[in-house]
Amino acid sequence: MATPVLEAIDQTQAPPQGPPRPNVIYTWLTTVDHKKIGLMYIAYALVFLLVGGVEAILMRIQLAVPNNHFISPQVFNQLFTMHGTTMVFFVGMPILFGFGNYLVPLMIGARDMAFPRLNAFSFWVSAFAGLLLYFSYFGASGLYAAGSAPDVGWFAYAPLTAKVFSPGHSTDYWTLAVFLSGVGSIGTALNIVTTILCMRCKGMKMSRMPLLPWLYLVMASLVFVAVSPLTAAQIMLTLDRYIGSHFFDTQAGGSAVLWMHFFWIFGHPEVYVLVLPAFAFVNEIVPVFSRKAMFGYPAMVAASVSIGFISLSVWAHHMFTVGLGAAGNTFFVFATMVISVPTGIKIFNWLATIWGGKVIFATPMMFCVGFLFQFLIAGLTGIMLSAAPFDWQLGNSYFVVAHFHYVLVGSILFAIFGAFYYWYPKVTGKMMSETLGKWHFWLFLIGFHLTFDFMHVPGLLGMPRRIYTYEAGRGWGGWNLIVGIGAIFQVAGLLFFVYNLVRSYYRGKEAGHDPWDAWTLEWAVPSPPPVYNFAIEPTVNSRRPLWDLKHPEDPDSDYE
């Protein structure tokens, strides 16, 4: 679909495509190029997605039937801790930073990030953190004593993490890994914000910036105020464990609830840190495949910014059962429910973008459609949880697990898959296979719904989370079996995805500059983009520079 106009204007030389040279590893290890770093982030996160996924499968096998003896309680507890920590810190964060790294400079017409070396540093710190976490299997007096990964849960409530209740070094690995990942995240976030504020090409006022950089701007700003508290809390926990301070030592008058506050002051904004980039992908994909401009761009920006702000004041909805008292609970109920207003604005704007368009159901769009429905449902189950008394029943049950997988898998992972299919041609110069993509989509969709729809039910029937087994008489058995079967479908879907990624690289159709007939700057450069991105710094005149170019008779700049 590449338009001739573009071919005409862009004569940037494609980089020479020779056989791989022996220094290829050296090049990647020492690179400071935002695209290479972005890809390393993504590759690294994909590996961890498979690792975390396998952990999830093991848990699902154990829970498929009551009184199962497949896994011991200790190992099960390590599995969900590692699964949660891996998925949030070593899948979600890096994959989203990876896309950000790759796309933000391209979309704002810059040649690199603001601080390329810091960028590399942040990546390697995060990468090291992930390895450190998994090294706990060997290092935390493991290996022969085997199985000594952390087992305190991904929010590691005090005082379970205190030396008395968690002897050995497993929790130390967890703390250090999360701490380092936080350092890396803050570094990358700093880079993203600075890049967006200081590196935009000529004419790209903030009001003309595509929505993806906008959302990354909000997301990165949130990282400063969300991840830093966690970093601080991890410092405290490390001090407690190593030199005997008493921050969270209930025996010395310390408070267990303080840790909860610190963790969720991080934890809640964190989930928006994860979801904002997912919104960003949808913001780019939905308009292109509906062939319409984004409906209500200013409202979209305003909604994102206000989500950022409101999300800082709702953390205690994870603590409705802590006994905050009626006043505290009431406040957090309100703050939490209010988030549905800006979030709703987003949903409605997407709806209005589709309305009156010509929707093309290519794989990226299909994943976005999945996202839209599933995010809607996930948000509504979130509203149920936010009604505090309802949460007294639902909290810490499988209903919560179902809610957050609906967001993390059904929304974020779906959006990420959409992003893979959408930008893969740009990154590799090859199209991904549509047939394999559809297989991936349908299998994963079926698996997702089997798993996470049915997971709500045991929650409503009183099944708490984080239990390694349950009795037969509770009426949870059948539901858990279905949930497990769904997980198998997800594996199948993911195998198609991995195969598609690899196969398309060698066998995919040539993509050209602009296979989707899209509108933002990254599609103006060759695929894959040269090291310097833009031979000459571009100049833009509207939010959709390529639209203006393709439709000189009716440019966007007339309407903004």
Partner 1 sequence: MAFLAPLFAVTALAQSPTNIFAPAATPAHSIFGLSMLVLSVTFGIFLVVGGLLLYALIRYRHRPTDSDHEPAQIYGSNQIELSWTVIPILIVVMLFLTTTRVILRTEAIPKPDNTMDVTVIGHQFWWEYRYPKLGIVTANELHIPTSDKANPKPTYLTMSSADVSHSFWVPRLAGKMDVIPNRVNTMWIDPPDAGLYLGQCAQYCGTQHAKMLLRVYAQSPEDFAAWASQQQKPAQQDFTGNPTAAAGQTVFMHNACINCHTVKGTVATGRFGPDLTHLAIRDTIAAGAVQNNPENLRRWIDDPNTMKPGSLMPAMHLNDHDLDLITAYLTQLH
Partner 2 sequence: MMNTSSTIPVEGAIEAPWTLPYRGTVGMACLIVAEAAIFIIFVVAYIFYIGKSLSGPTPAQVLELPIFGTICLLSSSITVHFASSALRKNNLRGCTAFLAGTVLLGAIFLATTAREWHHLIYDEGLTIQTNLFGTTYYSLVGLHATHVIVGLILLSTTLAFSLTGHLKEEHEKKLEVLSLYWHFVDAVWVVVFLVVYVLGR
* Interface with partner 1 in residues 45-84 (CB under 8 A): 72-74, 77
Residue 268 binds which of partner 2, partner 1, Cu ion, none (CB < 5-8 A, kind-dependent): Cu ion
Site for partner 1 in 506-525 (CB under 8 A): none
Sorted by sequence, the CB contacts under 8 Å of residue 138 that are 6+ apart come out as none
The rounded Cα 115 to chain-centroid distance in angstroms is 23
Helix axes 256-290, 297-310, angle to 10 degrees: 170
3 touches ligand HEA (CB under 6 A)? no
Q: Is 510 exposed, middle or buried (0-12, 13-18, 19+ CB in 10 A)?
A: exposed
Q: In the complex, what is the shortest distance from the CB of residue 400 to Cu ion, in angstroms, rounded to a whole number?
A: 10
Residue type, 370: G
Residue type, 486: G
Binding-site string for ligand HEA from residue 90 to residue 109, where x marks contact by CB under 6 A and - marks none: -xx-----------------
Instruction: Give the SS3 label for residue 276.
Output: helix
Q: In the complex, what is the shortest distance from the CB of residue 11 to partner 2, in angstroms, rounded to a whole number?
A: 5
Site for partner 1 in 407-436 (CB under 8 A): none
CB-CB neighbours of 559 under 10 Å: 9
Q: Which stretch binds partner 1 (CB under 8 A): 110-118, 125-133, 170-178, 471-479?
A: 471-479
Would you give the DSSP letter of residue 208? G
Burial call 72-100: b when 16+ CB within 10 Å, e when fewer:
eeebbbbbbbbbbbbbbbbbbbbbbbbbb
Instruction: Give the SS3 label for residue 540.
Output: coil
Beta carbon nearer to ligand HEA, 85 or 122: 85
Site for partner 1 in 350-389 (CB under 8 A): 351-352, 354-361, 369, 372-373, 376-377, 380-381, 383-384, 387-389
Residue 50 binds which of ligand HEA, Cu ion, partner 1, none (CB < 5-8 A, kind-dependent): ligand HEA
Q: Calculate ∠ Cα 150-122-166, nearest 5°.
A: 15
15 touches partner 2 (CB under 8 A)? no
Residue 3 binds which of partner 2, ligand HEA, Cu ion, none (CB < 5-8 A, kind-dependent): none
Site for partner 2 in 153-192 (CB under 8 A): 186, 189-191
* Token output for 534: 């833009």
369 touches partner 2 (CB under 8 A)? no
Q: In degrees rounded to 5, what are phi and psi of residue 204? A: -85, 80
Q: Which stretch binds partner 1 (CB under 8 A): 135-143, 152-160, 187-195, 411-419?
A: 152-160
Q: Is the distance from CB of 365 to CB of 418 less than 8 angstroms?
A: yes
* Token output for 293: 């401009």
N-to-C CA span, the chain: 27
Q: In degrees rounded to 5, what are phi and psi of residue 539? A: -130, 135
Residue type, 487: A
Q: In the complex, what is the shortest distance from the CB of residue 268 to Cu ion, in angstroms, rounded to a whole number?
A: 4
Residue 508 binds which of ligand HEA, Cu ion, partner 2, none (CB < 5-8 A, kind-dependent): none
- CA atoms of 477 and 474, how far apart (whole Å): 8
26 touches partner 1 (CB under 8 A)? no
| Nearest residue to 218 via CA among 237, 247, 196 | 196
Contact residue for partner 1 among 96, 276, 345, 409 (CB under 8 A): 345
Contact residue for partner 1 among 394, 408, 432, 445 (CB under 8 A): 394
397 pairs with which residues across the strands?
A: 464
268 touches Cu ion (CB under 5 A)? yes
- CA atoms of 261 and 6, how far apart (whole Å): 53
Q: Which stretch binds partner 2 (CB under 8 A): 72-80, 221-229, 425-433, 472-480?
A: 221-229
54 touches ligand HEA (CB under 6 A)? yes
Q: In the complex, what is the shortest distance from the CB of residue 487 to partner 1, in angstroms, rounded to a whole number?
A: 17
Judged by the rule CB under 6 A, the positions of this chain that interact with ligand HEA are: 50, 53-54, 56-57, 59-60, 80-81, 83-84, 87-88, 91-92, 153-155, 271, 274-275, 317-318, 320, 336, 339-340, 343-344, 347, 376, 379-380, 382-383, 385-386, 391, 395-396, 400-401, 403-405, 407-409, 412-413, 451, 465-466, 487, 490-491, 494-495
